[in-house]
Structure 1
Amino acid sequence: RNLRSEPLKAAETLAGESLPKAPIPIRFTLPKPGYVSLVIEKPDGFRVRNLVSETQFPAGENVVWWDGSDDLGRDADAAMHGVFNIPVRFVEPGAYRVRGIVRDAIRPHYEFSVYTTGDPPWTTEDSTGAWLANHSPPQAAAFVPASQSPTGKPVVYLGCYVTEGPSGLAWVDPADGRKLGGKKWVGGHWTAAPFLARDAGPNADPGTHVYVGSTWETEKNSGIGELRITALTQKGDKPIVKLSLGKLAEESPGAEERTEDLLGGIAVHNGIAVAAMNRENKLRFIDVSEGKEVRALSVPDPRGLIFDAKGDLLVISGNRLLRFPLGQGEPVILTATGLEDPQGITTDSQGNIYISDWGTSHQVKVFTPDGKFIRPIGKAGKPAAGKYDPLRMNHPHGIAVDDRGQLWVTEHDYMPKRVSVWTVDGKLVNAFYGPGKYGGGGALDPADKSKFYYADEGHGTLEFNLDWEKGSWSLENVLYRRTADEMKLSFRAGGPEQAVYRDGRRYFT
């Protein structure tokens, strides 16, 4: 309609309605019900208004109304008041056209899920569905025998740091990794189970399955750090201690970033829990029955720790492995070479020691009980973009050996999130992937639906191959892995996952 030749007039009031409608009617006819989108454009195709979007209309004659304004303005202060407002501005007089598209109702049906181990992949009432945390990757592992298990059968606990779902802590069947149960938070808001420990001492509490250690803020935005140790018991979660750790560093805005490196690990023996406090350079000893700290021990850069079968405390200190006889006295240095950036530690039934190491290797390294190197597990190499190799670990962290002689490794990495299972002599047995980020994500290739791309916020982008007939998927490539020296992305910004083809080349936005 040419607005220059006809002045705007108030619209007639429809029967039964008291408010006048916008002055310009846009009429259209549908042969059957459908979902309609309408836009207003200048003759050259410049769009001035998105009038109707994905709105259902019945078959027959229909009308919508345009008030003559555009939607080109933007609310620069939306972040301050939380509601996005488009400033009203009338279009210039002239000729305009309406274009529209219509579609039938989309009736989705479930095919299969990508990048998840859960069966089913969604949350169920008994917590056996879905998998691990959305916000953070796997970080902790602990084997619990039948005598201490919540199921009466052996289980492996797997833990993550922070989650809003599905499970920040899960327990699985060692035989096949099937999820037997899970929970969201442990010990307080936001934190799940970044560190796990079982008390294998003769005087352990028989009603406790496993202990969980984490750090967070005392209250939201308090800026005060807190150590949380919780016992998972037959009667439910039992808080052991919540210790204030003082004012947090202010260089990072989020509680997760400021508290993640406060704790390096926990170990428990005969009712005494030991927390490795990284920044404090000490071990805190806590009586779990009293919920009180009983003593402290200075140790430089303490990380993963565990009590061995004799009750000696093994502690990673920087890149060294120390042994404290019965958790006291002066330590014995078991090894001072061969470790670059060690993280987690566990032992097997023979007393052999397993340590997850980063640096240039990203392997699990095996030592004799007296600290002599035996072998590595996994291919050596730093995490990198390129062809995905399941025989390489990315940031191996919490580890545990089960009663079947299998080594469980939680890989503290987003590209991909993975729990891998190995024989103790280094053969890959199984791997469990995912889940995706908060809110999900991913995109099919517009030219090849067998390719699926998934970006985990700013961490990077994965490429999967899909088999639609079998309803299965496989991880093929890490297309993009963000490095520390790259341009900083905005908070929770997505990596490139939308494929675009031009002149025979594939691009991503």
Structure 2
Amino acid sequence: MHQSYSYHWSKQLLSTNIKWTYVITLICMLVVPTLGQVNMIGRQSQNEGIWVLPAKTAPVIDGDLSDWNMSGRILCFADQQLQDQYSTQVTAMWDEQYLYYAIKWNDPSPLGNMVDPRFNPDTGWKSDCVQLRFMTADQITWIDGWYHLDSKSSVIRITVWDDMTNWRQNKARSLVAPPGKVDLGEGAQQAFTQTESGYIQEMRIPWKMIHRKIPAIKSDMTFRLGMEFLWGDPAGSDKLTHRYADNIQAGITKREFYWNNYRVWGNATLTDQPTVAQRQYSPKSDRLTGPVPIELTLPLDAKIVSLAIDDVTGKRVRNMGGLKVADYTTQTTDKAIKVSIPWDTMADTQWQGNHSKGYHPTSNPVAPGQYTVKALTHSGIDATYEMSFYNPGTPVWDVADTSGAWGADHTTPHLLATSGKRMIVAWELAEGGWGIIGIGENGRKIWSEKRGAKVLAADEQYVYAVPEAFGNLPLPPSIIRLDSATGDYRPFTRDGKTLPFELRLENLFDTSSLGILKTMTVGKKYIALGYEANAIVLLDKTHAGFVRQLNLPTPTALTFSKDGELYAISSNQLCTINQDSGKATPIPTPDLQSPVGLTCDANGNLLTADTGTDSQVKAFTLQGKLAYTCGQQGGRPIRGKYDR
């Protein structure tokens, strides 16, 4: 989504005279403390390791931390000023069987994760969730933990890398506790309790879950443990409100691609000490210090102030720019803001040296005397929403019911299907935005699905798609089914049992020799899949069971008519297909050169896009007669005005 903004700012000049003595300056400069940062960078936490304390008795996993030793706790926050809303307090303990892990979350909208592990197990991180990144001597493991709001169930998603240097090759599984229970299976437990400021998340992780071969579990054992904390949108969309990654190797500050960059994950060290010194957090102060106060009265809307200090001859001796008014405010009235800004009496830094030998800074105090201060203020930079480009969503941003925003970010729309009076549009894939959307008869978007589609089809009730994998993640082709009116997931059912939502085609029929899936359509009885290796596969549309395979040379497009007849583009020829024998009967279409895509209109005509020299959509009767065309014959120039 692209947006444009307009900006507004104002300025005002002020002046004041300052007198001081050199002796006072020296005394004041000697007593000014140097403020250093402790376990922080700027306003964010910088935890370089975590102690894992011994559990004298195993804590009960119930969401109550009264039986925990909290002395080893660390605090994690992206902005100390937002710590009351978005931060975590993390504690870890151990015994010979388990790693115990607890989080006290500050969260203004706690336990709101609506990601259903049955349908989207790999995207629990899109709302309230913790992602733990383990690297032990013989295994890299990701564990995502969240509370699924709708089912009131505790969930963890475990992903184990096949190769400790390649995250793309992995195996994943989900453990889901019964509603209201803590036992997840495999010895793991997880509990949640809501608090006044957020919630508590308590976990028990078996050592066997993060090791291929369990070593001797003892004091001084160290492994890597990266932690990513995620806060979901209180409105229920899949857009995060806040995120922070912490516990990092010493000296490293960058957190880009933290999720797979195991080299930066911080250490977790087992200790046999019953307590450790509790970690403190102090930011580096950006506030100026000095013995000479510059006292000014600023306009009420001032957010930033810059000072220019001149001597009695008018020569500039010091520039102090971009100071936050809030850091120096002493009084605020209904008309003005009073500030006191300390000056260290130093002149501007001078750089001495040359290009070959290098440069070094020198700073010297100014001479005693009278100086004039000029101040420039402005009210900050604000954004005013003007418009949205290429986005007819209503509204143009995401909302919980997914009717906002529009489509995908990385690809263009490439598939269309109709479902009654609704239009279904699909993009190949989406990282941000949506891969499949439903549009109502008024042209407004009504629902969204994150998955993109390699092929797409729809009937009056359902949308059928084979999703396309994002990036370099090869996934076995699977068919999914959505409610065409709401976008809700509608897994196939067979013999009274609900099948997996992502139903792998290889589990329905032998796909090994069929090549690439090129097209799909749905009719009264069947779903038809067309493969490049000269085959059409028919599935029962009610339960996705295999019916039969038909042999047909290069079926690039398929469609069913209203009466259930199957038509295809085969070897550049429009054909009727016998659904029992697979026999193809060509329909003579002398006006058709290079057909792409196939569908039927309301009158039963067959429509295809002729990408030959005509560059038109052409409609043919079932006898092959050209019924009508859409678009100017020969197409239009790449540049120029559209025809009206």
Higher RCO (Cα < 8 Å, 6 or more apart)? 2
Tell which structure's C-alpha radius of gyration is larger.
2
